[in-house]
Structure 1
């Protein structure tokens, strides 16, 4: 096989921004393009995320590989290659789980070289390569007990051949960028070329039932500059919702109308998030304004009517799908962990397209709440759905038959540092407040940034600016919506009180007036080594109410402090949670506990509990913990939204 020429570039991350970095080699860099600082140029050194990243590296990566071994996900490839006998094991799309773990391992290896892990992954890749058909096809379900060429591509709506391929492309690019080894990438090229021979204008008109391949194809384009991969991604997007040449698959697959005509989030929430991410990827490279306009409409629909306060999406267990407008139940909320990840990916891409902090506000809400609840502190137990209330019968699982969530977490966590900073021209954007450092190129100058903060428990942020040489550029520091009396960028949620403590900013000890544009305060000056930005974000305990159309939250409020949403759990409230009341005038206090649940701020105050068959109330002390931290102390009742009075129905 003729080797495909690869472009030189930076590390390829899960985000669109890293794609932009890779494309520097094949087209002129545009000074007005927002480019994320790759996670390889960001070091996290805080008390919150750093331990989680280490747990992911030391525990979850290995744990997920072991589970892939135990459940036959790796053996399936050996059986196809003929080095092992046996039938196919598991669910037809299980290949994708192994690919995601390889991607997560690649990110880990890039930051923390580990010869033993690399040798292990090399062995897994050898098995995958040996299972590839001569023409490039790769999908173990249709390859066992014997190869079944007559079934290939006959049901891309359900069988996930293209979905698995997309995850393989992402894994291949990540592993090549981490190690410089081409074997997995060459397998990916053969598979992509096989798909390109089948699908496209004048060939087979069809689209995957589960979107993902669009993201993977764009990453292959980023590492090669071969426009056929970008064109194929665009074909899969543009063919959705068009019935001229095929059967369309309806709202569940976001295939009910052409993507540029869509205006609401419908169907399977994970598929939707991957579709919107793929649209944003292609829009960034093709100036496809129709995609951007549709994405704007869909995003507004989500944040105005379908977003949980935790950042989760997907109200219905049936179909793992979005519900109707304002359909946001609590106990039956699905809020799949994969959907939270897809929502974060999509919002970051939306930010890169538009530069508005409202997208980072949503991303931050996701990562501190609806995503983080999906994994235990130990790194080896997981939530699939993330409900906002529990009767005490729900807990994290060590694995699932459909293991998409554990294997998605393992690749998403190590990519998080790549969301912290962005650069455009001579402007640097500070998106997330995480202690650590970053190195950012502005022209011929390298600017070092050092963040000191205890965020999300404390709103004081100190940023030391260390340019290689003094120079004039703009520091854009995000002022979160939650600090501006706006919990979300819509009227879906609102604070009951109005915080009068103002955000303040200083440079070298001197107060600076806030100049907020699209959620960022901009400071343009000649920066020299050792300059310091001090940001103070007051973090009072806030009570949150939902839009009146959210019937499940009528007469209820939630508690939030900074970006963190809280819940009440039976472990801290032994009288039970089901009959607790939190009056609107309850005085709430916060206190940090370093020895509790990995270190958390708890919220305490006086509430009430219904007694005598709900005929009377008694005053009691109540305790709330961060939502992400629940279910670490056995099965317990839990609730995020608390009744304001005894009249509220449970």
Structure 2
């Protein structure tokens, strides 16, 4: 079996080399990762970010854990403190675990005595909270029945309890802490918990038969196996993989958790995006450790669906807020893109594991795209504010926050940023893979040698890279240099996105002499006898290029994105003369100048040129524009932003004149409609999306903001406008939402009524035309004119269905 899987992984590469007549043969050996502790960065891009993570993000996240009761919950569970369990989620325990993991990575790179001592104190709280048999989930130990909707009334009662998710993050933190410090304090806690999990879950009689619910324990158990050598951890990880999609023990099958059918039968990526990325990362670990080609074949099918139909140009995944996950193929809406920060991190995890299994650069290409765009957009340059979702377009309603009630993203960022050097190199027998170009020094251990590699480069701003190779012993081996897809003619390794022009040639030289390195699987392979001091120079063209999306990606039609190197650029209102973005278009072929601005956004390359601007009267004029890296937007306050820019006037948006509706404040009135009911009887909540003046194309057009009644089915729901002043009104137009999603079926309502505000009371309008509930058009209602400061619509949702409004106009 071991030989079979190696042949499967390496067959394409072997054929490629043979056809070139090269005597070199790729080693029949596993590809091994190079620990991040062996790679030390000193560049101007990543090193400052990692230092900010160490000095700002990690301390900030720990402070938030203190403020929000995360540590108190462990103290209460351990009997060290009295009080009520705090927080709103059963998985709040993972917040400290993730920050501990990030802090441990930081300690390994740069020792900090105060941080080391702080971790010891936190770990002592965690250890105290662990029950005698190894169980550890504080809301269960603390009997927090306020959260029983998550976990029930006893251990392991519900598949979505997140108890195993808590365990997985515990193991990840424990392994990182052990490897960074050599201390077993947290590792022993993790081992006791893992032993319990292996005892409770499995195929045997008396064991619980079901998958993990929210994956991460699969790859965490695999990691624990690699540290301890305990075979049962790998067996249990494999069990959770195999149990997915089988519907045993009466648990409901669900696309949301990728549990709709066995993994071996899956061919489309669906459901919650973070769960998907974590699950398939765990499957890749299990497949690699057990040499299982069947699971790897399934992963290839699922990955291909993701990369060819559901991957954003920024490397983000997960288009919908509903279910925090995937929509149908080619649904890549920009304004409403969810692209959760955690999902981009999960995308890196998954692609990294796919690379390790295959040695194919296409996985490293997607990894790099997510790394430089979708991941780091999730954290401010100051290191203390975070995005949960990462849209590719904004009207200015998006703003990073210091913390969230559901705070998975800040902690995930802290643990990921410190580990970036992990993804740079890999070895295979005596050969070396170079996946990322970052100025650094690395100490690599191959099968028969120790090799120092030094990179000198200003990447990603410049494409020149110098690598100095210093093997301890002069030796023949291959140096594999990834030639990114963006430096050729493939933004991504599928037909989802294409460049509108042809790439210029890249060049490689060794000791000043140009070489024609064999290119296969995306790597230029230089096979020679290397001696200390050999210098390799790579020159990747850094031209500004325009990217076109597949025509099936509806929201990107007529638009082009801007890319230079691995960096996606955007227009932000702050940099435009009129502070507007959507009224502009940039034709393909427009010249753009790239220049480095050391004083802007901690130092970035900016693109400048001349765009076309559509005036309110429809005329077009030339205007200067400036584009910045997408990852740095919203660091100077909220503003308009767009990644995909119209290429012609047809797709630009004339800035609309303000209307009664657009100037109104939008509210949900949380109370049943009763005729003449006083305003004081209702509860108001802010709403968004129905008065933004974007015209919907159809009732399933969710590409721009809209309002939906989340988790409401068959109920009477309301939406209200609070006007900026009294108006006399006599007509409204309502465009109803109607589309399918696994988080709820959204349908036009069964019926609706319209009310106007009369003093403190709501009164029904006197309708002069029928109330209609048609799809794919505005539903107009004429009524007897009223002078009022507000209107409210009340929609009776269809039985078993939810609903919503895309746009609501008032005249």
Structural mapping, 1:585-600, within 5 Å: 585-600=589-604
* 1:179 aligned residue (178, 181, 192): 181
* 1:113 aligned residue (111, 114, 117): 111
Normalising to structure 2: TM-score of the pair? 0.75
Shift of 1:145: 4.5
For the 8 Å contact 1:157–1:249, the answer to whether it is kept is no
* 1:284 aligned residue (281, 288, 295): 288
Task: Show the counterpart of 2:101.
Answer: 103
Shift of 1:367: 0.6
Task: Show the counterpart of 2:29.
Answer: 32
Gaps of 5+ in 2: 1-26, 654-811
Q: Partners of 1:505 and 1:302 in 2: how far apart?
A: 32
Give the secondary-structure state (helix, strand or coil) at the position aligned to 1:361.
helix
Shift of 1:589: 1.3
Shift of 1:110: 1.1
Task: Show the counterpart of 2:520.
Answer: 517
1:449 counterpart = 2:446:
no
CA deviations 1:557-590 (Å, max 9, x no partner) are 0100000000000000131112111112321111
Q: Would you identify which runs of 4 or more consecutive aligned residues in structure 1 move more than 4 Å?
A: 145-150
Larger radius of gyration between Structure 1 and Structure 2: 2
Shift of 1:155: 3.7
1:473 counterpart = 2:477:
yes
CA deviations 1:296-349 (Å, max 9, x no partner) are 000100110000000000000100011100000000000000000000000000
Task: Show the counterpart of 2:45.
Answer: 48
Q: Partners of 2:316 and 2:144 in 1: how far apart?
A: 41
User: Higher mean Cα deviation, 573-582 or 275-284?
Assistant: 573-582
For the 8 Å contact 1:396–1:631, the answer to whether it is kept is yes
Shift of 1:146: 7.3
User: Higher mean Cα deviation, 530-539 or 574-583?
Assistant: 574-583
Q: Partners of 1:83 and 1:247 in 2: how far apart?
A: 37
Shift of 1:151: 3.0
* 2:314 aligned residue (310, 314, 321): 310
Give the secondary-structure state (helix, strand or coil) at the position aligned to 2:48.
helix
Structural mapping, 1:162-311, within 5 Å: 162-202=164-204, 203-311=207-315
Task: Show the counterpart of 2:58.
Answer: 61
- Please report the RMSD computed on the Cα atoms of aligned residues, expressed in angstroms: 1.4
Shift of 1:152: 3.5
Q: Partners of 1:208 and 1:507 in 2: how far apart?
A: 50
Q: Which has the higher strand share?
A: 2
Q: Partners of 1:152 and 1:176 in 2: how far apart?
A: 31
Residues 302 and 633 of structure 1, relative CA distance in 2, 3 Å threshold: same
Residues 611 and 440 of structure 1, relative CA distance in 2, 3 Å threshold: same
Q: Partners of 2:144 and 2:384 in 1: how far apart?
A: 35
Q: Partners of 1:579 and 1:397 in 2: how far apart?
A: 28
Structural mapping, 1:412-451, within 5 Å: 412-451=416-455
1:561 counterpart = 2:559:
no
* 2:125 aligned residue (121, 124, 127): 127
Give the secondary-structure state (helix, strand or coil) at the position aligned to 1:417.
helix
* 1:84 aligned residue (74, 81, 85): 81
Structure showing greater relative contact order (alpha-carbon pairs closer than 8 Å, 6 or more residues apart): 1
CA deviations 1:185-230 (Å, max 9, x no partner) are 1111111111122110121101222101111111111111111111
For the 8 Å contact 1:156–1:162, the answer to whether it is kept is no
Structural mapping, 1:301-340, within 5 Å: 301-340=305-344
For the 8 Å contact 1:466–1:528, the answer to whether it is kept is yes
1:643 counterpart = 2:617:
no
Task: Show the counterpart of 1:503.
Answer: 506
Q: Partners of 1:380 and 1:98 in 2: how far apart?
A: 16
Q: Which has the higher helix share?
A: 1
Normalising to structure 1: TM-score of the pair? 0.94
Shift of 1:276: 0.4
Residues 117 and 31 of structure 1, relative CA distance in 2, 3 Å threshold: farther
Task: Show the counterpart of 2:134.
Answer: 136
Task: Show the counterpart of 2:759.
Answer: none
CA deviations 1:444-486 (Å, max 9, x no partner) are 4211100001000100000000111211111111111111111
CA deviations 1:61-99 (Å, max 9, x no partner) are 111111100000000011111221111101221001110
Give the secondary-structure state (helix, strand or coil) at the position aligned to 1:447.
strand
Q: Partners of 1:233 and 1:418 in 2: how far apart?
A: 23
For the 8 Å contact 1:329–1:552, the answer to whether it is kept is yes
1:544 counterpart = 2:547:
yes
Q: Partners of 2:516 and 2:361 in 1: how far apart?
A: 19
Q: Partners of 1:470 and 1:134 in 2: how far apart?
A: 55
Give the secondary-structure state (helix, strand or coil) at the position aligned to 1:303.
helix
User: How many residue pairs are counted as aligned between the two chains?
Assistant: 619
Q: Partners of 1:218 and 1:560 in 2: how far apart?
A: 37
Give the secondary-structure state (helix, strand or coil) at the position aligned to 2:367.
helix
Give the secondary-structure state (helix, strand or coil) at the position aligned to 2:548.
strand
User: Higher mean Cα deviation, 364-373 or 85-94?
Assistant: 85-94
Shift of 1:243: 2.4
CA deviations 1:519-567 (Å, max 9, x no partner) are 0011111111110000100111001110000110110001000000000
Gaps of 5+ in 1: 1-29
Shift of 1:514: 2.8
Give the secondary-structure state (helix, strand or coil) at the position aligned to 2:70.
coil
Q: Partners of 1:224 and 1:612 in 2: how far apart?
A: 67
Give the secondary-structure state (helix, strand or coil) at the position aligned to 2:419.
helix
Give the secondary-structure state (helix, strand or coil) at the position aligned to 1:394.
coil
